[in-house]
Amino acid sequence: MRALPDVWVHRRPNGSSWGPLDDQSPNAGAVAAPRTTGWHVLSVLLRNEFRARYRSQALGILWSLLNPLVQTAILSVIFSHVSAFKSAIPFFAVYLLIGVVVWQWFATAINAATQSFINNADIVKRTVFSRQIVPMATAMSYGINFAMEALLVLALVVVWPHAFKLSPALLLVPVILAILAALIAGVVLATSVLNVIYRDVAFLVSTALTLLYWLCPIIYPLSFVPPEYLPFYEMNPIAAILIALRDCLMDGRMPSLLTWVGMVGPTALMLVIGWLTFRHYERMVLDYV
């Protein structure tokens, strides 16, 4: 059987066009972008994202550590004068810093990755690679910031050693953080590709994150939530992740079954929705970017 020649395909929202791709084709070089390995693109994007964030800044990467530290210090001073908070949350600075560091990775990664295709339009247009690498690289670059900011939490062991409990539950911390990373991946797969076609998505995401901030126990304990609203918190994966991390780090106990369901269930659902959404709209990225 005669082998079919390679063809180029250009997909548009209203149809597709194609043609032969061979050495004699006058447009072969213009149509076919060079194929680049996914790992190479990921490393380049990851490095560029991280470096560009602190370019031309005197303190550079130190801003990543100062931001959550200053926020924690200010809120700790303010709420230390509120007796209800002071009695309900022992070692409030540690409690707060865990919430601030986790939320900062979640919110900044999603906000930035939602606009990643727009910000990397030249690379997307001129290079052939798996498109999901673009939002993943942006989210991972903020994961590097999270790893550095997590050192602040470890530093508090010296200041408040009794705020932490050494127990087997600490072994679950990497698992919980992996669930957080999977949740971020599921969200950005959907929002990044939708934002290429519908540019209002970035503003909707930013507004939704602002609302979600107050629906998570970042600066207040879950005991402050009225009982009728608790089911909404229990199915909020970020709230469940914060509860699980604080249980493991501060109380030395394993997360409850309900907490695991609140983490794993919505995260798995978001991964499926994000992947299906990305696969559906991926072919339109080159036409709208």
Instruction: Kindly report, residue by residue over 92-113, the tens digit of the pLDDT.
Output: 888 988 999 999 999 999 999 9
Instruction: Return the pLDDT at 26.
Output: 41
> By C-alpha distance, which of 144, 194, 125, 115 is closest to 43?
144
Whether this model's pTM surpasses 0.85:
no
Provide DSSP, 74-108.
HHHHHHTT-HHHHHHSTTHHHHHHHHHHHHHHHHH
Instruction: Return the pLDDT at 48.
Output: 76
Tokens of 187: 């969200």
Instruction: Return the pLDDT at 1.
Output: 45
Q: How far apart are CA 91 and CA 97, in angstroms?
A: 10
Q: How far apart are CA 53 and CA 143, in angstroms?
A: 13
Mark the ranges of the chain whose per-residue pLDDT is less than 50.
1-5, 7-8, 10, 13-15, 17, 19, 21-35
**Is the distance from CB of 74 to CB of 92 less than 8 angstroms?**
no
Instruction: Return the pLDDT at 181.
Output: 96
> What's the burial of 165, exposed, middle or buried (CB within 10 Å: 0-12/13-18/19+)?
middle
